[in-house]
Structure 1
Amino acid sequence: MSKAVSPNSINMAEDQIEERRQEIDYDTREFTIEIIVNKYLEKDDDDLSEIYVPEYQREFVWDITRQSKLIESIVLGLPIPLLFVAEIKETGRLEIVDGSQRVRTLAAFIKNQLRLTNLRTLNYLNGFYFNDFPPSRQRKFKNTPIRMIVLSDKADERVRNDMFDRINTSSLDLTPMETRKGVYRGDFIDFVFECSKTKILVDLCPIYKYFQNRNEEAELVLRFFAFSETYPEFIIADVKNHNDLERTGVARFLDEYILWKNRTFTNEEKKQKIYDFKRMLDFIVKTFPSGFKKYQDSDATSRPYFEAISVGSYLALKQKPDLVVKNLWKSSDKNNQSNSFRIPIGRYQTHKPENMRQRIDYVKEKLLNHSL
């Protein structure tokens, strides 16, 4: 039989509930798709858009089918999940806590970057871009209202983080790297996890609270090896398989890369990869004032940003092993690398091969052009 809770404990619990409830102040707003997309796109290149995606959510992961189904649901008039945003006290901007994939899909569709695919209910829309809709349908789509929960600026970062955790851990799935660790056992996957514990890497790559202790560092290491080895086509080719990033998507591409390396990994290759990895990290320490962070005070590492800097630096060092970079940063850029180092990450299809090449080549050429 359980011990009865004391009256004092009950009072303390009630006080805590009331205190925490006061921290979570929110309201519900409703905007049209057109307004949401405009607020998201306007000044986004300068990181000043009114509705924005935080660094830890910068990777776009939805495939074309999932994007198309969202558009189909809206056209059919079906309800879609609410957006969760948080009002930032210092700027008044709205940080997307949950819904970044939806907002970016809507923006891509309206900007005619998304071609509807694999629809079943409205199968006649397959192949359509937004511009293929008649003007009346375009207006109806843009005027569709979407509701959002807005945490007021009374909610500090701790409350926002807690909200993100609750949304994303209500049914906690394994991350791809957690799955790979258990499924794709072999010498290469063990090597990746060994590299992920390198102190310099850990120091250079702050991990957002939600991803801590979930093998995010190993995910970054795997991406460095996979994309640096398969650049510029991002194709894995051997006797049995021929898999490319364009066709498979990034998660499956990385799975196939691990399977390939587990079969072919040798001690000689291991030594070379350790050398390349450590040389790249040492170069980052000497060259980039914020490491793999976009801002000096950032608490997260954007995967696309990491890929661009790590692979771009590796390729520059490969071309010029004694590379030393000077006069890359203005004194005013020490706390904000993006001022003079504007890597073209993009907001949509971040792992389309041409987008990958564009941002990696940008880093490589920028470094070589500022070398001694």
Structure 2
Amino acid sequence: MSKAVKQDIITMAEKQILAEDQIDERRQEIDYDTREFTIEFIVNKYLEKDDDDFSEIYVPEYQREFVWDINRQSRLIESIILGLPIPVLFVAEIKETGRLEIVDGSQRVRTLAAFMTNQLQLRNLRILNGLNGSCFKNLAPSRQRKFKNTPIRMIVLSDKADEKVRNDMFDRINTSSLDLTPMETRKGVYRGDFTDFIFDCATNKKLIELCPIGRYFQDRNEEAELVLRFFAFSETYPEFNLSGENNQANLERTGVARFLDEYVILKNHHFPNEEKQKKLSDFERMLNFVQKTFPSGFKRNHDSDSTARPYFEAISVGSHLALEQKPNLTVQNLWNPSEISNQTDYFRIPIGRYQTHKPQNMKERIDYVKDKLLSQSL
């Protein structure tokens, strides 16, 4: 056997040993167990102390946007009542607190909570159409008990799994297909001057500094998505309606993604240079104000490594509206000295658990920021 062949064999053996060591190490990080809890238990642990961010089962910041429409929510409830299997929940145990962070399943948990608190009224059911228009309280007492006692499987990552491992799991679960994000689709389908303008604004260095993007949304045009939301929601506030020659869109009826599609179509059809310059000026003015006023930028607090869409919308649009009312706005004492790096306690944007983009909820959180800024202005 030649010396070169022997060296290749040794090299391959070394690679195999290294690979096995990596596998053992990573498998230890992804230690987990499977549990079953009733719907009532899960919902109670989710709702309990949620207003103070101390609930035992909680939704992390990067999943704060509730995106399921009423049909999808209703189908989940119908499936449970029919006894059909539903996907397991993935949660991670946080070492420092012992709380369970939802890695995958936040839309399901929030739908269950909304139904059991009578915020969800079932719609467009095909099999159990007799339940259309019903809330949880309308079910027979025996059916309510059966629903609450329905078990749901939960895969719990042990506290050995650090944030990097949790993020990687979320990324693998949610990007296992090649589906484009809505913003990636818009870039390819809805071409025009306004689309180009949005993507130009998304490269603004100040925006990137104030608005960190979580690793699971990086390289998916999330900055452009946020910029689009700023312009669409600030222009259509407070009703969030669009009216154009070929466009009649309402945020509550169409949902966020389609509403933004219609807005882009409308603007690409007619986007004069004067409007472009005005929008650019408003955007830059808003960023300058946020930089001076908000110690954590668009993040919830200094420790956040990502920007939740509802927080961005509230801060950006609320700041813009306050500046429209008072162009030379200067704000002081927005936070108590002990909260200056927190941005959550005294200044507490009402995001909510459910229907984050219902127009009424959108207006509430935007108005909260606007009114708080104006009330603390010099």
Q: Could you tell me the TM-score, scaled by structure 1's length?
A: 0.98
Compute the displacement of 1:330 (Å): 0.6
Matched, 1:204 2:210: yes
* CA apart distance, 1:120: 0.6
Q: Which residue of 1 aligns with 2:272?
A: 266
- Distance (whole Å) between structure 2 residues aligned to residue 41 and residue 300 of structure 1: 24
Name 1:86's counterpart in structure 2: 92
Count residues in correspondence.
370
Of all paired residues, the percent bearing the same amino acid is 76
The whole-number CA distance in structure 2 between the counterparts of 1:190 and 1:106 is: 40
Q: Aligned pair 1:358/2:364, yes or no?
A: yes
What is the SS of the residue equivalent to 2:216?
helix
Partner residue in 2 for 1:135: 141
Deviates more, 1:282-291 or 1:157-166: 157-166
Partner of 2:191: 185
> What is the correspondence of 1:113-262 to structure 2 with a 5 Å cutoff?
113-262=119-268
| SS at structure 2 position matched to 1:95 | strand
Q: Distance in 1 between matches of 2:369 and 2:20?
A: 54
| SS of aligned partner of 1:289 | coil
- Mapping for residues 209-358 of structure 1, pairs under 5 Å: 209-358=215-364
Pairwise CA distance, 1:297: 1.2
Shift of 1:241: 2.3
- 2:3 aligned partner: none
User: Which amino acid in structure 2 is aligned with residue 67 of structure 1?
Assistant: Q
Paired residue secondary structure (1:355):
helix
Alpha-carbon shift at residue 19 of structure 1 (Å): 1.5
Query: CA RMSD of the aligned region, Å?
Result: 1.0
Aligned equivalents of 1:233, 1:195: Cα separation in 2: 25
Report the residue type matching 1:95 in the other structure: E
For the residues of structure 2 that align with 1:8 and 1:293, how far apart are their CA atoms? 45
How far residue 172 of structure 1 moved from its aligned partner, in angstroms, is 3.0
> What secondary structure is seen at the aligned counterpart in 2 of 1:354?
helix
Deviations 1:48-96 (A, max 9, x none): 1110001110000000000000000000001100000000011111000
Structure 2 counterpart SS, 1:150: strand
Alpha-carbon distance in structure 1 between the residues aligned to 2:371 and 2:168: 40
Regions of 4+ moved over 4 Å: none
1:369 equivalenced with 2:359 (yes/no): no
**Equivalents in 2 of 1:243, 1:8: separation in Å?**
62
Q: Deviations for 1:6-43, whole angstroms, at most 9, x for unmatched residues?
A: 22211221121111111111111111000100110111
Cα offsets for 1:226-278 (capped at 9, x unmatched): 00000011011123322110110000000000000001101000100010000
Where do residues 29-68 of structure 1 align in structure 2 (5 Å cutoff)?
A: 29-68=35-74
